[in-house]
Structure 1
Amino acid sequence: MAKYQHILVALDLSEESDQVLQQAIELATNSGAKLSLAHVIEPLTFAYGGDIPVDLTEVQEQLQVQAQEQLDKIVSNITIGTHNQHVVIGQPAAEIHRLAEEEDCDLVVVGSHGRRGLALLLGSTANGVLHGAKCDVLAVRVSLPE
């Protein structure tokens, strides 16, 4: 197995994020790697088609603050400096690629729900990250809460 230096963990802040983070922590511990976390918020104009004649800046800022608070809660039991926590706005796969390059990461860890059928054809963030990354990508199969 490769010895990684810097691991970027892409979290969607769902209940399954802890499974992805725990796997990344184990890898980082075994490799002696630095760990960075990322959460990407899609711009509201993407989500709503951009046809709404309303200024969504304040709503977008609130989403960003809430995401940072959730990320802070997730990492409260581990030591990761705020400079290694990234909450950004953009297209998830593209932003994860950008962060991985900017931070000189040699591994990106993402969660995968193992979609099948139509959801598989439409793609997922994990698939998008895999097909554009310039470093290794680990897709952690997460199990949904029962």
Structure 2
Amino acid sequence: MGENIVVVGVDNSDTALRAAQAAAEIALAFGARLHVVTAFEDDRTEEFGVGSDRWIVSGPSRAEAVARDVVASLGWPGGSGEVTSAAWRGKPADAILAEAQRLRARLVVVGNRRMRGIGRILGSIANSVAHGADCDVYIVNTTGDAD
């Protein structure tokens, strides 16, 4: 059995935020640590600038910022357990599975985005995680429909 850790996979979408909110509620209810993970597929670095100001942004730093932003938006209450985040290089499902296995998570939470229509035929992150996880998987209805 895994440790008392809930892993949630996110990107910068509203549906991922809904999955993260559900994961936070579950983690708080069970006194679990919440771990937010996001993925990036390239190490490309871009430079942005206005006048003499320059910013260098890489794939990993953008992904880490997404995870941190999701954590910040959750309003995790102080003293209610730990919340952490990470960015992994690779496909989203692989990143979520790798973190869950590395942490020996008890539960993985993902949204149901792309589980209908052509996404159902081609596969989805939720489908890949559900079939590959070594722990329980909770798929959150993030579309607002009651399928």
TM-score, normalised relative to structure 2: 0.75
Secondary structure at the counterpart of residue 131 of structure 1: helix
Partner SS state of residue 105, structure 1: coil
SS at match of 1:26: helix
Query: Match of 2:53?
Result: none
In the TM superposition, residue 15 of structure 1 has moved relative to its aligned partner by 1.8
In the other structure, the counterpart of 2:22 is: 23
**Structure 1 Cα separation of the partners of residues 64 and 93 of structure 2:** 19
> How many residues are matched?
127
Q: Does 1:137 align with 2:124?
A: no
C-alpha distance after superposition, 1:37-63 (max 9, x if no partner): 1001123xxxxxxxxxxxx6425x612
In structure 2, stretches of 5+ residues that fail to align are 47-56
Distance 1:115 1:102 in 2: 26
Contact 1:11 1:37 in 2 (8 A): yes
1:58 has 2:45 as partner: yes
DSSP 3-state at the match of 2:13: coil
Distance 1:122-1:114 versus aligned 2 partners, 3 A rule: closer
Of Structure 1 and Structure 2, the greater strand share is in 2
Residue pairs, 1:94-113, within 5 angstroms? 94-113=94-113
Asked if the contact 1:13–1:39 (Cα under 8 Å) also holds between the matched residues in 2, the reply is no
Unaligned runs of 5+ residues in structure 1 are 44-55
Q: Per-residue CA shift, 1:103-129, capped at 9, x if unaligned?
A: 110100011126323221100111111
Alpha-carbon contact 2:38-2:95 (below 8 Å) kept: no
Task: Tell me how far apart the structure 2 counterparts of residues 108 and 101 of structure 1 sit (CA, whole Å).
Answer: 10
CA distance in 2, matches of 1:91, 1:62: 17
Question: Is it true that 1:74 corresponds to 2:70 in the alignment?
Answer: yes
The letter for the 1-side match of 2:120 is L
Match of 1:119 in 2: 119
User: How far does residue 81 in structure 1 lie from its aligned partner after superposition?
Assistant: 6.2
Residues 9 and 110, structure 1, Cα contact 8 Å, conserved in 2: yes
Counterpart-to-counterpart distance in 2, 1:119 and 1:18 = 20
User: Structure 2 vs 1, CA of residues 101 and 126 (structure 1 numbering), >3 Å: closer, same or farther?
Assistant: same
- Structure 1 length as normaliser, TM-score? 0.76
The CA RMSD over aligned residues, in Å, is 2.3
